[in-house]
A = this chain, B = another copy of it.
């Protein structure tokens, strides 16, 4: 029934939707007074703390001046801009990218993810997904009538590997999954798959003829001494993998809604056909902002990574000191601390954080069966983030069993 389909798409607790929630009877649950402090919205990065890439708005203005040529591009996006990006992405990921046949610009990486899943999944199809992983993955698979087969990741083991259960992945493929969808670095934990893990995924995908959707949104924000392995250059045939990236996170360009999918030509072909009825194209003028991507000023990206690493380290200390086991992110700007048993349920605790401590976080249940975890995007003002995480550990103390 279509009504069930939309019930399953519940967005009440999705990042950014908190403004639509009523405070309800939260006052009755409150222990102790309000904890004052500068409000922090950890549901997404703060583009006022980490400003968009220099030159982005200039490229936009040039596109506007160019007029019709840039307003109406092919559905897959401006051929010139795709040519520039194909070169940059080939260098970044270590495998060739066909500008003409193997790239499509989309409204955000969300747009790319939607089109990729739509291109590969239809009613009854089994799709292996990771647990925990980006909340939309399961929703997308189910929206197209597919069956999500969760494969767990032991992200708190302390190992340097992501912790994917490869035996379980093999079982999912044996049981018929022909698509594997995963984010790397992992959202919400910041885990990066090791070379060995990527190698085993590739081997299994080859053996079972599985198509891989690799969401690499955060792969540029890689911390010191970490190694990142791009699955598209790790031995999978081109036609078996589509990679998704975009400048919304590290580069703070989310307000432009830009993403790209690249790799398997037959998937790009389907995605373009579908984009023609979903949104036509990524906004024409906005596409030009991608001309700044991978061409940031000398040292700009390195500084951005260092700044995030410093915040990461401070917040990790606070959570671990507060008794909240937390994976040390190897890339990206998410933290996924685990809470001790509390006297209130997770949804109530999240609402209390908001109303009592001025903090917005995303409940762990958005990422799988994690009723004892919260996700924070720590791309925030450093001082405000530190103060807010101290408030979180104080709140945990007040409400713990």
Contact = CB atoms under 8 A, between A and B. Distances in A.
A3 to B, nearest CB: 9
Tally of this chain's copies: 2
Interface residues of A, number: 66
A137 to B, nearest CB: 9
A285 to B, nearest CB: 5
Given A48-B68, A64-B255, A72-B254, A276 B14 contact: yes
Nearest to A281: B257
Overall SS of chain A's interface: helix
B273 A257 contact: no
A387 interface: no
Contacts of A63: 255
Contact of A107 (B44, B73, B107, B119): B107
Nearest to A3: B270
Contacts of A64: 57, 255
Given A61-B57, A64-B255, A74-B20, A274 B48 contact: no
A280 interface: yes
Contacts of A113: 277
B276 A257 contact: no
Contacts of A57: 61, 64
Interface stretch (A4-12, A166-174, A317-325, A333-341): A4-12
Given A139-B277, A140-B277, A277-B114, A2 B44 contact: no
Contacts of A48: 67-68
A276 B11 contact: yes
A278 interface: yes
Interface in A156-198: none
B110 A279 contact: yes
A111 B279 contact: yes
A279 B255 contact: no
Nearest to A14: B276
A19 interface: yes
A276 B134 CA distance: 13
A284 interface: yes
A257 B283 contact: yes
9 contacts: A6-B269, A9-B274, A14-B276, A16-B75, A57-B61, A72-B254, A72-B255, A110-B277, A256-B284
